[in-house]
Structure 1
Amino acid sequence: MAGSALNRYSDQLRILSNIKANEVLLAALKLANPSGDNRRSIAHLEAENRELKSWSTLYEPFQLWFALKYRPEIRNNERITREAEYRMMELGRGAQPVYEWTPYGFRTAQNYTGFRQSIRDGLRDAGYKDVHVFIRRSAVTGRTFKQNSPFDGAKPSDYDLALVSPSMWRRLNDLATPMRNNRTRTGELEDDLVKALGIDSLQRSLGAQTGRKVTFMIYRSEQDIANRPGEYVRIELRIK
């Protein structure tokens, strides 16, 4: 019995090691030139890590332990530290680990799933079927881009959503919307453009759901998001 348990633990350590090794490779690839080969490698490694995390019972406890021990922005934030320590206690009592990555600001994977469902349903209700949604900056890294201060440090942080949608892009061109960065993106959408695109109710509902300001920026392509400074993550809208 003890040998079997030890083997299972060894398997879990190997899974965790593979996940962390993949994360190092992903970070390096995302800093490299965005070639076609790199994009394919990134997609492959991200898919592999999603599968590995679904098998791992150690990933979430390790991430919490590492953050509390080595991330000063976590250690110095009393609220986040308290929540992390409480979650560690829950896991110690046998709570089911969370396998899915969640942006900063969501205490549970269930909260994040609800957020994704709201985006999916809101875009569908607005008549869009071609939208890819990405979350950027501090919700991904835990640090604000300009001041490098902690997420939710001096004030509640925003959620910056980047949308890639041919139909939205055409609509904005029809409206003669000013574009930035060689016509690769909009600025943060003002209320009139959000309303013109029919996603004003979605923006309001996401703000009410999260208690945060939620902003939209429309990009010509995902590559144009990748070309900008700052980390981003795709929000998967195909929810099981």
Structure 2
Amino acid sequence: MAGHSNARLVMFGSSVTGFSYRAGTSFDTGGKSDYDLAVVSPRLYEAALTAGAQRRAGGRTEPIGPRSRVAKNIKLKTMLESLHDLSGRKVSIMIYRDWTFLTTRGPYRILP
């Protein structure tokens, strides 16, 4: 993935379950839902922090969007822009140090 051979891309949130965690409504009720993605990679996690990403609890970064300088610096900008263009949805990504915390955040799907 974008030159990060040890990284795994994961989709989570309402796009996986079909329902909003907060509101309990179906995906896209009241507007177009966004896609929440995660990448699990210790090396990419450290690179993102070095590039200026903010650290969040549980060994993850803040959400990183396609316009962020962090996305550009860690070579994820083009991928995020492409996903936005293809889906017509807001796309952001959080980078996790390891699987420990991600698996506690609810249903997820590992993408090929």
TM band (smaller chain): 0.7 to 0.9
Superposed CA RMSD: 1.5
Structure showing the higher strand proportion among its residues: 2
Tell me what 2:75 maps to: 198
Amino acid aligned to 2:75: G
1:138-186 CA-to-partner distances (Å, cap 9, x unmatched) read 011111122222101111111111101122112123235321115x111
- Post-superposition Cα deviations, 1:45-92, rounded to whole Å, max 9, x if no partner, equal xxxxxxxxxxxxxxxxxxxxxxxxxxxxxxxxxxxxxxxxxxxxxxxx
Name the stretch that deviates more: 166-175 or 133-142.
166-175
| Structure 2 spans left out of the alignment, 5+ residues | none
In the alignment, is residue 164 of structure 1 matched against residue 32 of structure 2? no
Question: How many pairs does the alignment contain?
Answer: 110
Distance 2:14 2:36 in 1: 9
**Aligned equivalents of 2:10 and 2:100: distance in 1?**
12
Length-normalised TM-score, structure 2: 0.87
Letter in 1 for 2:11: I
Displacement of 1:127: 1.5
For residues 5-61 of structure 1, what are the alpha-carbon distances to aligned partners after superposition, in whole Å with 9 as ceiling and x for unaligned?
xxxxxxxxxxxxxxxxxxxxxxxxxxxxxxxxxxxxxxxxxxxxxxxxxxxxxxxxx
Amino acid at match of 1:140: V
* Aligned residues with identical type, % of pairs: 31
Bigger CA radius of gyration:
1
Q: Partner residue of 1:87?
A: none
- Separation of aligned partners in 2, 1:218 and 1:145: 21
Where does the alignment leave 5 or more consecutive residues of structure 1 unmatched? 1-122
Which consecutive aligned stretches of 4+ in structure 1 deviate over 6 angstroms post-superposition? none
1:134 aligns with 2:44: no
Task: Give the counterpart letter for 1:227 in structure 2.
Answer: T
Higher helix share: 1
Match of 1:227 among 90, 104, 107: 104
Deviation string, structure 1 residues 196-222 (Cα, Å, up to 9, x no partner) = 211111111111111111110101112
Equivalent residue, structure 1, for 2:19: 143
1:178 alignment counterpart: 54
The structure-2 alpha-carbon separation of the partners of 1:192 and 1:226, relative to structure 1 and needing over 3 Å to count, comes to: same
Specify the SS of the correspondent of 1:149: coil
Write the distance in 2 (CA, Å) between the matches of 1:175 and 1:221.
Answer: 19
Find the partner of 1:152 among 28, 33, 36.
Answer: 28
1:188 counterpart = 2:63 = yes
Alignment of 1:103-114 (within 5 A): none
Residue 207 of structure 1 corresponds to which residue in structure 2?
Answer: 84
SS at match of 1:154: coil
